[in-house]
Amino acid sequence: MTTDVVPSREGRFDGRIAGLGTAAGLRVVVGHWERSPLGAFTDVMVEQPDGRRVLLAPTREIADFVAGTYRFDEVRLAPLTTVVDGACWRVGAGGLELTFRTAGRAPLGRLLRLIPRALATAPWWISAVDVVARTVLPGVRTRGSAGAGRREFYAALDLHRVRSATVRWAGVDQGPLAPVSPPLRFGFGSTPRTPSLVRVVTLVRAG
């Protein structure tokens, strides 16, 4: 189904976003939020090879918020399991079985860690970074519309490459890891083309 829900929560979402592609053309974004106005949760966005966009969310409240912030063709409520064991992540939800392993910190991750957190999460700084991101990382944006007249700001604090992944969707193996290409169409920006795990603080604000 297509959703048109006005979200009710604003504030700071602190966690990690993993974005990866597969040889079969499936692209997956995992948002693992340790602290947020909705509590700790994981949600998954899947873009199928035919372009159909699916949201997997653990509760109706979370589904309504995320679906009111991004664009989907279908929303599924399903229990999500997320296990993080060092560099290895395992995520299961509503037809998705995902295991991925991260590599060492990428050069961009080392650069991001040098920026003081208070500066990195300031909206004016994020807006300045957006100009650079549009040039250096095609498809990536750090600010934009979050729907319902709100604004969204992404503050990247660290970055690790994803070095391997096993993905099954609806019981079918999706093949080896591949770049996130073409850019995802859930919102105003995509994840990096290179499969990555990004430490991020997301600010959602009115106006």
Query: Which of 22-36, 111-125, 129-143, 186-200 is predicted with the least confidence, judged by mean pLDDT?
Result: 129-143
Question: Which of 3, 7, 52 has the alpha carbon at shortest distance from 206?
Answer: 7
Q: In the prediction, which pLDDT does 147 show?
A: 73
Q: What is the dihedral of CA 91, 9, 200, 134, to 10 degrees?
A: 110
- Kindly report the number of other CB atoms within 10 A of residue 205's CB atom: 13
Distances (CA, A) of 18 to 56, 99, 206: 15, 11, 26
- What's the CA gap between 198 and 179, in Å, rounded? 15
Q: In the prediction, which pLDDT does 207 show?
A: 62
Q: In the prediction, which pLDDT does 149 show?
A: 77
Taking 70 as the threshold, does the pLDDT of residue 9 lie above it? no
189 with 144: CB under 8 angstroms? Answer: yes
pTM: predicted TM-score of the whole model, two decimal places: 0.91
Taking 50 as the threshold, does the pLDDT of residue 111 lie above it? yes
Domain boundaries, the chain: 11-206
Average pLDDT (157-184) is 95
Taking 80 as the threshold, does the pLDDT of residue 165 lie above it? yes
Average pLDDT (145-166) is 90
Q: In the prediction, which pLDDT does 63 show?
A: 95
Average pLDDT (199-207) is 87
